[in-house]
């Protein structure tokens, strides 16, 4: 931001964030689901809110033969269906003029040569000033062809004073070896500074608010350590099954799909030390230390500390649903986990002996993602004697839905006798602020356009996360079906997950 003010004094005071630069956004996978559901609606919303620089061109790249006009029509339908705000014809008309389509096979060098020509032409026509943002909204198998060809035609480097960046969508590999291979592929054409690995969880308002909660308030940080915190729980539940993602999900599973990226990122934000400043690398350095401090789970440790489950038939909101193995396009003998619960420890000064319990699952009773910090009980004197059970203080950060923060504390029930019950102080974003938060992709696209990598994962973070996950996967591979627990759809997961906490004298928070 400071840089922006120094360079454009007229921006001072108008925005508290870095301003996105004019650029061409080149989306590989233009006809895909992500582009239709998320990317183009996000760009439209930014345009409607006046956040997108007027000098932007969006070039969709895909294999099918289509004209600009046909693609614009398709994207208009998608935006009307998926945009968070109603589409206005006059805004759409102007926005649509910035949408273009370029057909090529991803392995065809000629297609990239003509893409380079087209981008130069757009620089002249649209004032995009030679800046390029490449978005790889395609399967990882296609990264190699795309980034190699971008390099071959020189699109990986911008001219002097301009920039070229690449956004890589998850999954960033399926294990450490494949993540390293992917990173090698990308880094052969783009430097780490040019590479933006997107994890849309980090674009959510409450995820960003975790750092504000911890470091803009003086009251929490002194308590944020092993002396006062008993344990931490992170839950990501969803009522949905695999829906249309069976092909991917039946290979990935909950651990790879959610824990390796989203949930470990949330853990990093909750557990990291204060960074020296808000620079992207200062924050990512601290996040990396958290993942590095995780006690490795391998061999027997996996059996003791990790529960994997798969949903069987049950009911969600009163409607019967089939079990995972009965889902369409799922292997009927699949041993893939749709639920995972972990007990983890961070071996560092702040978090020694504070377990972190993490659970993620499909077909759970509620769709909710939250982090709860459970504080130690008050000393067993006065109101907290043996005969009286007093709950712990719990600070909850709700990521989705109903973003907010709540704090549970004890209060006396009015009356002549002394009875104590937990009460909750509850802050809801939706109650306090009428204005809805932008979609995560809106924030992240703007950040990439303005060169702010804070909310994107760095190579070493991703690889370190895989280094933690791989031994668990390896143990499961060795165990095959043994150790896979089943839970009825609509329940909170297998009993073994409850036992994971029960044997520590704890219980999962009731959501």
The two three-digit tokens of residue 322, written as one number: 């089939």
Q: How far is CA 455 from CA 72, 266, 439, 440, in A?
A: 30, 11, 14, 10
Give least dist CB 429 to another protein, A.
9
Bridge partners, 164 (sequence order):
132
Give least dist CB 13 to another protein, A.
4
Whether 103 contacts 66, CB under 8 Å: yes
CA pair distance 363, 487, nearest whole angstrom: 9
Whether 106 contacts 82, CB under 8 Å: no
Alpha helices in 261-361 (DSSP H): 264-271, 280-293, 300-305
CB of 22 or CB of 241, closer to another protein: 22
CB of 53 or CB of 438, closer to another protein: 53
CB of 429 or CB of 486, closer to another protein: 429
Whether 321 contacts 330, CB under 8 Å: no
Give least dist CB 435 to another protein, A.
6
Q: Residue 48, SS3?
A: helix
Footprint of another protein on this chain (CB under 8 A)? 4, 7-16, 19, 21-22, 48-50, 53-55, 90-91, 94, 126-127, 129, 161, 401-402, 428, 430-436
CB of 296 or CB of 431, closer to another protein: 431
Active site residues: 262
Give least dist CB 21 to another protein, A.
6
b or e along 181-201 (b: 16 or more beta carbons within 10 Å of the residue's beta carbon)? ebbebbeebbeeebbbbbbbb
Name the nearest CA neighbour of 18 among 438, 449, 440: 449
Give least dist CB 153 to another protein, A.
24
Whether 235 contacts 370, CB under 8 Å: yes
Q: How far is CA 324 from CA 309, 311, 315, 447, 502, in A?
A: 11, 6, 13, 38, 27
E strands present in 111-228: 132-136, 164-168, 195-198
CA pair distance 174, 257, nearest whole angstrom: 9
Whether 485 contacts 308, CB under 8 Å: yes
Give least dist CB 22 to another protein, A.
6
Give least dist CB 11 to another protein, A.
5
CB of 11 or CB of 37, closer to another protein: 11
CB of 222 or CB of 434, closer to another protein: 434
The two three-digit tokens of residue 168, written as one number: 């890589």
CB of 79 or CB of 291, closer to another protein: 79
């Amino acid at each position: 931001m400071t840089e922006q003010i120094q360079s454009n004094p007229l921006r001072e005071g108008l925005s508290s964030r870095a301003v996105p630069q004019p650029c061409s956004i080149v989306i590989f996978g233009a006809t895909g689901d992500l582009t239709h559901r998320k990317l183009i609606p996000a760009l439209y919303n930014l345009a409607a809110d006046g956040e997108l620089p007027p000098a932007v061109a969006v070039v969709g790249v895909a294999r099918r033969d289509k004209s600009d006009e046909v693609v614009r029509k398709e994207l208009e339908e998608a935006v009307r269906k998926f945009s968070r705000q109603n589409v206005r014809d006059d805004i759409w008309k102007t926005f649509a003029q910035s949408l273009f389509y370029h057909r090529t096979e991803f392995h065809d060098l000629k297609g990239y040569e003509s893409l380079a020509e087209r981008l130069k032409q757009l620089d002249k026509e649209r004032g995009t000033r030679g800046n390029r943002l490449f978005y790889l909204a395609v399967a990882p198998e296609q990264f190699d062809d795309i980034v190699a060809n971008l390099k071959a035609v020189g699109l990986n480097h911008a001219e002097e004073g301009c920039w070229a960046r690449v956004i890589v969508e998850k999954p960033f590999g399926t294990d450490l070896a494949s993540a390293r291979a992917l990173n090698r592929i990308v880094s052969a054409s783009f430097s780490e500074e040019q590479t933006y690995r997107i994890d849309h969880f980090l674009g959510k308002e409450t995820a960003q608010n975790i750092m504000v909660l911890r470091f803009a308030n003086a009251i929490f940080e002194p308590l944020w350590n092993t002396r006062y915190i008993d344990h931490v729980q992170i839950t990501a539940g969803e009522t949905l099954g695999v829906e249309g993602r069976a092909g991917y999900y039946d290979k990935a599973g909950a651990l790879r799909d959610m824990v390796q990226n989203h949930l470990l990122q949330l853990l990093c934000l909750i557990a990291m030390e204060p960074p020296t400043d808000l620079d992207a690398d200062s924050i990512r350095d601290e996040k990396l230390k958290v993942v590095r401090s995780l006690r490795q789970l391998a061999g027997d440790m996996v059996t003791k500390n990790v529960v994997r489950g798969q949903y069987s038939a049950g009911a969600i909101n009163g409607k019967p649903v089939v079990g995972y193995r009965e889902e369409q396009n799922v292997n009927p003998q699949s041993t893939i986990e749709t639920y995972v619960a972990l007990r983890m420890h961070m071996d560092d000064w702040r978090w020694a002996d504070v377990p972190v319990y993490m659970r993620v699952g499909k077909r759970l009773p509620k769709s909710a993602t939250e982090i709860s910090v459970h504080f130690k009980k008050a000393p067993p004197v006065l109101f907290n004697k043996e005969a009286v059970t007093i709950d712990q203080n719990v600070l909850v950060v709700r990521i989705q839905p109903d973003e907010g923060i709540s704090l549970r504390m004890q209060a006396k029930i009015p009356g002549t006798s002394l009875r104590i019950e937990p009460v909750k102080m509850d802050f809801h974003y939706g109650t306090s602020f009428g204005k809805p938060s932008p979609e995560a992709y809106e924030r992240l696209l703007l950040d990439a356009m303005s060169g702010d990598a804070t909310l994107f994962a760095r190579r070493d973070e991703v690889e370190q996360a895989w280094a933690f996950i791989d031994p668990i996967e390896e143990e499961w591979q060795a165990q095959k079906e043994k150790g896979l627990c089943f839970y009825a759809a609509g329940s909170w997961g297998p009993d073994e997950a409850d036992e994971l906490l029960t044997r520590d004298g704890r219980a999962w928070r009731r959501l």
